[in-house]
Amino acid sequence: MRILSIGNEYGQNTKKTNLRQPVFKRVWEEHIRWGTNFDKELGKTNIKIPSFPDAIAVLLEYTKSKKLALTNWWEHKVNVKNPKNLATAGATAVIASITPLDKDSKIMPMEHKGEGIYELNGVDMKPGDGYRFIVVQKDGTVNTVKDPYSKKQENIHGWSTVYDPNNYEWKNTDWLEGKDPRRIKRKPNEPLRGLDNLVINEVNIPTLTLDGTFQSAKKQIDKIAKNKNATAIEIMPVENTFSKQWGYDGVDKFAVNEKLGGAVGLKELIDYAHGKGLNVIMDMVPNHIGADGSYLHLTGPFKKRSGDFGDIPNYEGENNKYIRDWMTNAALWWANEFKVDGIRFDLTYDTESDWLLRQIVIELNYHNPDVFLIAEDHQKKRHAITSYWENDKLGHEERLNYIDSQVDNITKGFPKTIPWSIGFDSEWDSQYKDAITKMAITPNNTLLDEIDQYLPTTHYRVHYTYSHDEIGNWDGTRFIPKYLVAHLDLFNKINGNNNQEKGQKAAQASQKLAELIVSKEFGDMTNDELTEKQKEFGMHSFVSKGDLINTFNTAIAKHRLILGTVYTTPGPKMFFQGDDIADLSHFKFFREFSDEKTKRKADSSVAQNAENKYGYDSLEELARPDSIVGRVKPTGMFKDIQKNMREYTTDLKDLLDKNPALSKGNIIATYKDNNHNVHIHHLKYKDEEILVIKNFGWGFHNNEYGYDGFPNEGSKWQEIFSSDNKKYGGMGYTNQHRSDITKENQHLSLAPNSIIILKKIV
C-alpha cells in the first residue's frame, strides 16, 4: 500500500513508506492518511475514513459534476433496492442493492479493514471532484454523509471536494525555516517559553474589511505591520460554516470557510503576514461542532450530547479513540498545512476531556515543536493546563498508549482520571482581564486587591482587557461606550421591561452617544438639539454637552491606562482589533444558519429573541456591516483620537523593545495605595529595573505624589513614559525632565487615570 504525504514540507517524518497492512497507530503516516489524499504522480486518490462501528457497509459515491456536488442531501439521494431487507442481507448483497440515481455519479464499495475503518485506493478522482459516503447501518438505515476529514467543503450540507495538496507555493521560506528573527517560536526550556515578545492583535476576518475576505484583509495587515504595535495576529476561527461569522460554529474542522476565500486565500494571507514580520496564530474549536451542518453523528457513536452551541463530541465514550484522533489531526492540519506559528484552543475546559487536550499537546509538541499552543480555559488557572511533565521519560508512542489506557478505563466504568499535566504553553488570563477592566470602569479600594493578586501572575499567560467575547457577547460595544453607560448612569435613564432589556438599551444608547460625540455636528449642537437626539436614543433624562465631553475624555484616558497596564505586564499581551486605536465601531455577535431566512419568515419571534438577547439583530447581513473596523470615523473636536492612540500603542511597543524588563522581567514587588487608588509594580530583568505607576483614581498630583514603598537603595530614577503626554491626547503632566527621582525626592506628577513608567538610572 502506498502512503502519501500531504502538502509541501508537511511537518516531520513525511517520508513515503510502503506498508504491507494498515497500522492503527499514530505514526506520522497515519495522521496524514485520513480523508482523501490525491497522488499527483499517479493522478489517483486514496481514501481512508474513521470508525463506522455500526455499519454493514460503506460505499463511496463521487462525481465530476460541479452542479451535482453542490446539491444538498435531500436534493440528490441514491437508489436502494429492497430497503426492508438490508438489515438481514450480507455486505455483498447490500452493496449490490445500492445504485446511483444520477448518471453523473459513480458508486464504489469501500474495503473494511477492521475496527470500523474503511479504505479505498487508486480511485479516479482528482482535485475539484465531489464525493460523499453512503453508510448502511445494522438496522438497514442508509445515510449519505460528507467526509469527516473534508479539507474542502463548498456546501456544509453537500458533497465534499477532493483537496489539492499542491495548491500554493509558499514565498516566505526564510520564515518557515526559522531564519527570520521576527518569528516567535516555542522554547519549552525557557522561563517564558519563547513567548515574551508576543503582542497579539486578535482579528476577525469578516469584519476587518467591508468585503470580509482573506484577500481584502491584506490591507489591514499592512496597517497592523505599519503601526508596529503588535508582533502577531490571532485569527478567529475560519472553520467552515454556512455564512461569514465569528467562526465558532464551525462544522468542517479541516476545511476553510469558502466564503472567506478558502484554503488558498488563507495560505496567501498567512504568507503575506509572515512577509510583513507578523506571526500568525490560528483559533480552533475543539469543544463542540456547530449546530448547522454537522453530520459526524451519522459516522459513528461520536456525539456525547447536544449542547447550547451544537454537538459535543464523545471524547471519552465508546469508540472514543477515533474522535480524539480526529480532533488531534485537525490541530496538526492547521499547524502543517497552513504554516501557522501558534494555535489558540477555544474553551478547552468544555471539551470535558483533559486526556484529549493532553493528546493534542503531545502530538503537536512532537511533530511541530516550534508551534506554541494557547488554551482558553477560564478555570481559575488550574495548574494542569500549563504545567509540564518535565521528568517524563516515556517515548512519544508510550505517552499516547498511556492516554488510550486511561480513557479506555473511564469508558469501562472505572473512576475518572485526569492528567496531572496537560502542558499548553500559555492560556488566556481571564482573571487578570476581569480585575483590570472592573478597576477601570468602577474604581474603588477593594478592587486594588484583585489587581494586586492577578497582575504578578506567571509570565506565559496572555494578558488582555477585552477580546471578542467581552465586546460581542455582552452587547456589541467596546470599552469607551461601556464606560459611558456606567458613568453617565444610562441604565437609569432608559426605559425597559426588565433589567436585561434596560441594560441592552443603555448599551446601544451609549454607542450612539459615542458616535455622536466624535461627529462633526456635535460641536455646534444646541442643548435643545442634543436633547432631541438623546430622546431618539431612548433616553428619558438629559445629559449636558459638558458632561458628555468630560466623561468621554475620561473614558479615553482610562482606555490608555488599561492598554498601558497590559503592555507593561511581563509575558504575552493581546488586544482586540481596533482597540489599539480606540476604534468605536461595534463588534456584534453575528451569524446566519442555512435555514435562518425560512425560520424568520415563519416565526417573527426568531429575530425578536436575538434582539432581546444582544440588543440588536444578530443576522449576518445586519450585524456585520456595523462591526467593520474603522466604520466610525472621528471628526470634529475628537478627530485626532485614533492618531493619538496609534502613536500611544506604537510608542508602548517601542518601549518594550528597548526595555526587556517589560516583557521578560519578574515582578519583584507590588504596592497598593488605597488612599489614591494607585497601583505600582516593580520589575527587574538582569540589571534593569522598572517602576510602573498606575493611577486608577481621580486625583491630580502636580509634583506632589509619592509612596512609602518606593525603592530606597540610594538609587535614582527617571521617567521614560507617560500616558498623559499631549501627543497621546493627554493633559501634559510629565516628569521627563527630571533625573533626580529618589525615595526621599519623589515629588511626582501623576494625572488622573494615567500610567507613568520610571527606569532606574543609577
Higher-confidence position of 9 and 241: 241
* DSSP 8-state code for residue 499: H
pTM, full prediction: 0.95
Average pLDDT over residues 363-389: 89
Q: For residue 69, name the pLDDT band (cuts at 50, 70, 90).
A: confident
pLDDT at residue 713 above 60? yes
pLDDT of residue 25: 56
Higher-confidence position of 250 and 72: 250
- Of 389, 348, 677, 638, the C-alpha closest to 517 is 638
Q: How many C-beta atoms lie closer than 10 Å to residue 213's C-beta?
A: 20
pLDDT tens digits for range 329-338: 999 999 999 9
- Of 323, 315, 301, the C-alpha closest to 55 is 301
Q: How many C-beta atoms lie closer than 10 Å to residue 663's C-beta?
A: 25
pLDDT at residue 590 above 70? yes
Q: From residue 389, give the alpha-carbon distance in Å to each of 195, 426, 428, 592.
A: 19, 15, 21, 43
pLDDT of residue 408: 94
DSSP secondary structure, 304-345, as one string: EEE-SSEEEE-TTSTTHHHHHHHHHHHHHHHHHHS--SEEEE
Distance CA 600, CA 206 (A): 23
The answer to whether 47 and 120 have CB atoms below 8 angstroms apart is: yes
The secondary structure element, H or E, covering residue 619 is none
Same fold, 28-161 and 664-760: yes
pLDDT of residue 667: 95
pLDDT of residue 238: 98
The domain ranges of the chain are 28-161, 181-428, 475-638, 664-760
Least confident of 66-80, 138-152, 479-493, 585-599: 66-80
Q: What is the CATH number of domain 181-428?
A: 3.20.20.80
pLDDT tens digits for range 254-281: 999 999 999 999 999 999 999 999 999 9
pLDDT of residue 493: 96
Least confident of 113-117, 166-170, 366-370: 113-117
pLDDT of residue 737: 79
Q: Which cell is 673 given?
A: 495605595
Distance CA 199, CA 462 (A): 9
pLDDT of residue 75: 79
Q: For residue 11, name the pLDDT band (cuts at 50, 70, 90).
A: very low
Q: For residue 381, name the pLDDT band (cuts at 50, 70, 90).
A: low
C-alpha gyration radius of the chain: 28
pLDDT tens digits for range 288-311: 999 999 998 888 888 899 888 899
Distance CA 659, CA 568 (A): 10
pLDDT-above-90 percentage for the chain: 76
pLDDT tens digits for range 134-174: 999 888 889 999 999 999 999 999 999 999 999 999 999 99
CA atoms within 13 A on the CB side of 641: 29
Distance CA 315, CA 320 (A): 5
pLDDT at residue 393 above 90? no
pLDDT tens digits for range 481-492: 999 999 999 999
Q: What is the CATH number of domain 664-760?
A: 2.60.40.1180
pLDDT tens digits for range 397-454: 899 999 999 999 999 999 999 998 999 999 999 999 999 999 999 877 788 999 999 9
Average pLDDT over residues 546-572: 97
pLDDT of residue 223: 97
Least confident of 599-608, 623-632, 659-668: 599-608
User: What is the architecture of the domain spanning 28-161?
Assistant: Sandwich (2.60)
Amino acid, res. 348: T
pLDDT at residue 17 above 60? no
Distance CA 555, CA 182 (A): 34
- Of 592, 575, 566, 666, the C-alpha closest to 629 is 575
Average pLDDT over residues 646-673: 96
pLDDT of residue 220: 97
pLDDT of residue 189: 81
Whole-number average pLDDT of the chain: 91
Average pLDDT over residues 556-582: 97
pLDDT at residue 582 above 80? yes
pLDDT at residue 5 above 60? no
